[in-house]
Amino acid sequence: MSKLEITMGKQRKVWSTDVQEAIVLSVLRGELGVADAARQHGVNESLIHTWKTQFLEAGRARLAGDRQNEGATTLERENDRLKRIVAEKELELDLARNVRRL
């Protein structure tokens, strides 16, 4: 569940990601209030609020990231298309130069 970490002579609990997620999800689902979850798991209420905020912000960032990746894919396709056009134009120029030399 949790482990103790000693930092500069002080002990503090370090909660696993699985436990943090379970607590946050139980609060978000309305299964437990923050105070109840804090008592049940021996966690400070403010820590649960912090985890909840981080969880929601990470989800929001991921959703924004998905949209950005779609845009990047579109840009990559456009970039590939433009590269092909430039390559064709360079080939045409090389052919024109070679014809002039003859």
> For residue range 50-99, what is the model confidence (pLDDT) as tens digits?
999 999 988 887 777 766 556 667 888 888 889 988 888 888 888 888 88
Spatial contact of 43 and 23, defined as CB atoms under 8 Å apart: yes
Task: Using the Cα atoms of residue 4, residue 17, residue 68 and residue 79 in order, give the sign of their dihedral.
Answer: positive
Domain count of the fold of the chain = 1
Domain harbouring 70, CATH code = 1.10.10
Task: Provide the 10 A C-beta neighbour count for residue 51.
Answer: 20
Q: Which domain holds residue 86?
A: 2-101
pTM strictly above 0.85 = no
> For residue range 3-39, what is the model confidence (pLDDT) as tens digits?
555 555 666 788 899 999 999 999 999 999 999 999 9
